[in-house]
Structure 1
Amino acid sequence: MTRYLLLFSLFLSFKSFSAVTAWTDFMLDNGHIFLPVSIEGIESRAMLDSGAQINSINRAFVGKHNLTLDSARSVNIKGVFKVEKRRAYNNVKVDIFGTEFELDSLVEASLGHHSNGMLLGAGFFKNFIVQLDYSRSKIRLITRDTVDMGEIANVKAVSQKGSGMPIAEIHINGVALWLRIDTGNAGTILIDRRSASRAGLLEQVEGATTSFGANSSGVNEFATSKAVKFGPFEISDVKVSFPADGQKTNLESQYESAGTRIGGKRVVGLIGYDLLKDFIVTLDYKLGKLHIALPELE
């Protein structure tokens, strides 16, 4: 049986018929983006997570439907708070945007309720320019021969050396920081404690919350920054989270396979939903290019 790597077949179909897809509805659930999918013939939904290097299938979904899947080599996953070995599967049949293909190395993960069938990470994002209109809950895909992202990008961003993941520079209270662009982070901007200190946030702590990473949970404190500069926009009174004193994290390599050495710019946290939610976000994951715009008033 022919195996399609990640979303290669979807990419070829898209490339053959259109340079820009029609806008398609996505579901926004507590800051997470979901698309309707079919997994092994079962209707479900997939979360889009640009902060994940791997594609995952929900352990609860597999159990609910008593699926017997082809085993693959286990993978070590490094989350924000912990490293954990996970089982993986090959030849998993998936239908998205009306195209059926097979996924290999689909890693088992805890993705909440069994109705959340899977998570699509780098394997989805790197094949296209992905445009997300958060205000209208719409998504469309664009081929790179249609738009010159190097010309229109208005946020300082690059692909991180080693991981290949897109990172962007933002300024919090005037302090420049490199953060991962993470559509899977449904909360506030998350930075490490040293960066929070540099931005003057440790003296303004308002409270603490429990944060859930890929493998485990931890305690984060939060404070409100006076200003966050994101590309051409400056936003006032933005909430920023950071690990509580003594809380160990792996912020610089969340979802990365353990053992991979990362070089290049020092990544100190994650950009999430609270910063992205007001914008139309155009992301070229592969080239590390980003454009943001406010939606037009209707």
Structure 2
Amino acid sequence: MQTLKKHIILLLLCVAGFSQAQSKFNIMGGKEKASVRFKLINNLIIIPVEINGVEMSFLLDSGVNKPIMFSLNPGDSLSIEQQERIQLRGLGSGEAIQAVKARSDTFKINDILKLNLELYIILDQEINMSTRLGVPIHGIIGYDVFKDFIVEINYSTEKIKFYNPESYEYRKCRKCTDLPLTFRNNKPYIDVSVAIEEDKEPDIPVKLLIDSGGSDALWLFEDIEQRITIPENKFDDFLGRGLSGSIYGMRARVKKFNIGMFSFENAKVAFPDSTAITYVKNFKERNGSIGGEILKRFRVVFDYGNKRIRLRKSRYFSDPFRYNMSGIELQHNGMRVIQEVKKRNSTLQTNYGRQTGAGDINVVFEHYNSFSLVKAYEIAEIRKNSPAELAGLREGDVIVSINGKVVDKMTLSKVTGILQGKENKRMRLKVLRGETVLKFEFRLKEVL
């Protein structure tokens, strides 16, 4: 009887251990760390994942609580157990969106594995990050993977290292700053300070969400009582798209932004409209967020378990804070068909009676049409009174070439980068409007 009791206790301990192991991400093979390469696109981290054996791409977003998957295309094949329908809300002034609460059998990030991961599948086909980034994006993951590891993100090498927290040791680093994190709804916040304009002193303390899923540098929520006001030098702009719709607001620069022992001058900042942030303002202490354009300037170590973050300069630290001076916001809107007229030569041998046996060669050129598919980069948004709008460009125009260079072989980030050049740079655009090819010319203008 005593032996039987011991066996039962051991069995229960094994079951409990197995259950605990499956409730979190684990590094396969019992290793202490795992590395994952990522793509850095528009300051965002895109990682390869595998769900139930199907390869996909996810955005690594420290500002999201639960994994989110966008509704799959009809041609995609993925079997996931669906449980119940729910409504989700996020940034944007639109309504809540429909989603399905589901569970995957396996969720892998290279050598990192979790069984039975709970996630939400958004049913609205219109909510799709792929068009704005120019690469397939199937979903977003954040807290679930951050909480189980110490995560080191090296933006310079585009590599993430996941460490087992139990065996990780911090090295002494005089060039690093270690700062405490606080959490609300499983999202990390940090206390920093900002000086908005020259004549406003001292620096204003602010609590910001660390949001690796946001491409901007800083977002601040206007709050007169806390002296968080919009600078006089500003302009209206499209800031992005959230789960609940498009987000508009003001863009400006702040005099100084301080995070630990590091400071940035003239950092780019956005002030979203109050209607777009109604949902996130439920946490009244939050004053905004830090996005990818700040985070990529560091090698970042996230330590959720000990509620701390370590920052060390990356090669991007001193990069200028640029913004879109053209006023054009692009999206990848599928493919377009182009027709090329090519020449194909054929030879015709003739002999005009000479006895040499060698005939004359006549070359005959035949024209034929070749059709091919190329990327279609469409103007999704255009800023009012921007150089592009004043030149006559419109939403829906498809860009064919910029300054004589055809864009259909370029990535979306490459095309966007060309439009974010230096002030006064001349831009010559050829666009397709319906079936008509039009040409426009303007110069980039510094507003801030």
TM bucket, shorter chain: 0.7 to 0.9
Measure, in 1, the Cα distance between the counterparts of 2:145 and 2:103.
17
- Which stretch has the larger CA shift, 122-131 or 187-196? 187-196
Residue of structure 2 equivalent to 1:112: 129
Residue of structure 2 equivalent to 1:172: 194
Measure, in 2, the Cα distance between the counterparts of 1:88 and 1:57.
10
Residue of structure 1 equivalent to 2:12: none
Residue of structure 2 equivalent to 1:94: 107
Distance 1:292 1:270, change over 3 A: same
Measure, in 2, the Cα distance between the counterparts of 1:212 and 1:26.
23
Unpaired stretches in structure 1, ≥5 consecutive residues: 254-260
Shift of 1:100: 5.0
Alignment of 1:135-284 (within 5 A): 135-147=156-168, 154-161=177-184, 163-173=185-195, 174-194=203-223, 198-244=227-273, 247-250=275-278, 252=280, 266-284=285-303
Unpaired stretches in structure 2, ≥5 consecutive residues: 1-17, 196-202, 317-448
Q: Is the 8 A contact 1:158 1:289 kept in 2?
A: yes
Residue of structure 2 equivalent to 1:256: none
The DSSP-based 3-state class of the residue aligned with 2:293 is helix
**Which is higher, the Rg of structure 1 or of structure 2?**
2
The alignment's TM-score, normalised by the length of structure 2, stands at 0.56
Shift of 1:126: 0.6
CA deviations over 1:25-53 (Å, ceiling 9, x no partner):
21112222111122232222121111000
Shift of 1:279: 0.6
Shift of 1:250: 3.6
CA deviations over 1:106-162 (Å, ceiling 9, x no partner):
11133433832222121111101111111221110122234467x98835432224x
The alignment's TM-score, normalised by the length of structure 1, stands at 0.81
Pairwise CA RMSD of aligned residues? 3.2
Distance 1:188 1:71, change over 3 A: same
Shift of 1:93: 3.3
Aligned length: 280
- Which stretch has the larger CA shift, 114-123 or 278-287? 114-123
Q: Is the 8 A contact 1:93 1:101 kept in 2?
A: yes
Measure, in 2, the Cα distance between the counterparts of 1:211 and 1:219.
7
Shift of 1:68: 4.4
Shift of 1:222: 1.0
Residue of structure 2 equivalent to 1:48: 60
- Partner letter of residue 11 of structure 1? N
Measure, in 2, the Cα distance between the counterparts of 1:44 and 1:4.
27
The DSSP-based 3-state class of the residue aligned with 1:275 is helix
1:287 to 303, 306, 312: 306
Distance 1:165 1:5, change over 3 A: farther
Measure, in 1, the Cα distance between the counterparts of 2:111 and 2:294.
31
Shift of 1:251: 6.4
Work out the percentage of aligned pairs sharing the same amino acid.
19
Measure, in 2, the Cα distance between the counterparts of 1:172 and 1:251.
24
Measure, in 1, the Cα distance between the counterparts of 2:234 and 2:112.
48
